Amino acid sequence: MLLDISDVHVSFPASRGTDREVKVLDGVSLHVGQGEFVAVLGPSGSGKTTLFRLAGGLLRPVRGSIRLNGADITGKPGHIGYMPQQPALLPWRTVLENSLLAAEIAGSERQTAERQAREWLQRAGLAGYEHAYPDELSGGMQQRVSFVRALLGPQLLLGLDEPFGALDAMTRLEMQLWLGDLWQESGRSVLLVTHSIEEALLLADRIYVLSAKPTRVIAEMEVPWERPRREELLADPAFARLKLQLYQAMRNQAGGG
Ligand SMILES: Nc1ncnc2c1ncn2[C@@H]1O[C@H](COP(=O)(O)OP(=O)(O)O)[C@@H](O)[C@H]1O
Ligand SMILES: [Mg+2]
């Protein structure tokens, strides 16, 4: 087991000036195996970003633990890579310099990191843009730089937080297929959180479904398709069936807690 999130509970103050607390995560357990692509599917506000703050050590659970490769990393930052909801590129750094940021923070050797960065930027379709600045790129291209940056960090596990939410539908589908291909080449393990059923089905090996808060895991599904996955999958009746099944799992509990 690479990542093992076990029975985590998190509450936040309901509002300023009250002692009342809102329970957000109510005993969530999930795991990611070596080389596995796992998606967590949950409605907005169910605590998906909170899961990353826990795994990233920025937040401590009231109860429960987070282990990476068997070691307790609860409350310990720096052990998982993270690609945020917005690309969050530094505007004064070029594409190449932005993509080197995670490696730089980790203290990786510059020459090796730069060679890898150039390789991955090329795979990401960004050859020729190494010295461009973020504001010269489209939204999709910025997300690719953000992904390459996360990939170049030393962490074994990459957390992707609704990475394509801000893109238009066409670009989003292209980026999802692109990400699936690149992930296959990278050999990394990925935990993706999303509210998009299609995104989870297109990308993941396995899907966890979260309830609305107080949040629990309400379903788990193995995704059967081989890789690489192509857009034709969208027209596959089996795809439609699993999509409906996930939709019903999410709907049946909405407002039930
Ligand atoms: N620091 C915080 N203080 C108070 N409430 C918070 C805090 N962080 C998140 N929340 C609440 O916890 C819930 C889950 O938030 P979040 O993890 O961002 O959800 P998601 O990413 O699934 O949309 C939301 O209701 C949010 O308002
Ligand atoms: Mg979020």
Residue 198 token pair: 């299609």
Same domain, 71 and 171: yes
Same domain, 43 and 68: yes
Give the total number of structural domains in the chain: 2
Query: DSSP strand E in the chain: where?
Result: 3-13, 21-32, 37-41, 63-68, 71-72, 81-83, 157-161, 189-194, 206-210, 217-222
pLDDT tens readout for residues 79-88: 999 888 888 8
| Residue 159 domain flag | no
From 9, 11, 40, 50, give the residue whose CB has the most ligand 1 atoms within 8 Å, as the site to mutate: 50
Same domain, 9 and 72: yes
pLDDT tens readout for residues 3-50: 999 999 999 998 887 889 999 999 999 999 999 999 999 999 999 999
Same domain, 75 and 123: no
Q: How far is CA 188 from the centre of its chain?
A: 12
Q: Which ligand is nearest to the CA of 163?
A: 2
Same domain, 174 and 74: yes
Residue 175 token pair: 């980026």
**Which residue segment(s) compose the domain that 150 sits in?**
88-154
pLDDT range class, residue 254, cuts 50, 70, 90: low
Same domain, 64 and 129: no
Same domain, 64 and 99: no
Same domain, 175 and 133: no
pLDDT tens readout for residues 139-176: 889 999 999 999 888 889 999 999 888 788 888 898 89
Calculate how far, in angstroms, residue 89's C-alpha sits from the geometric centre of ligand 2: 18
In DSSP terms, 65 is beta-bridged to 6
pLDDT over 70, % of the chain: 98
Q: 18: Cβ below 6 Å to ligand 1? A: no
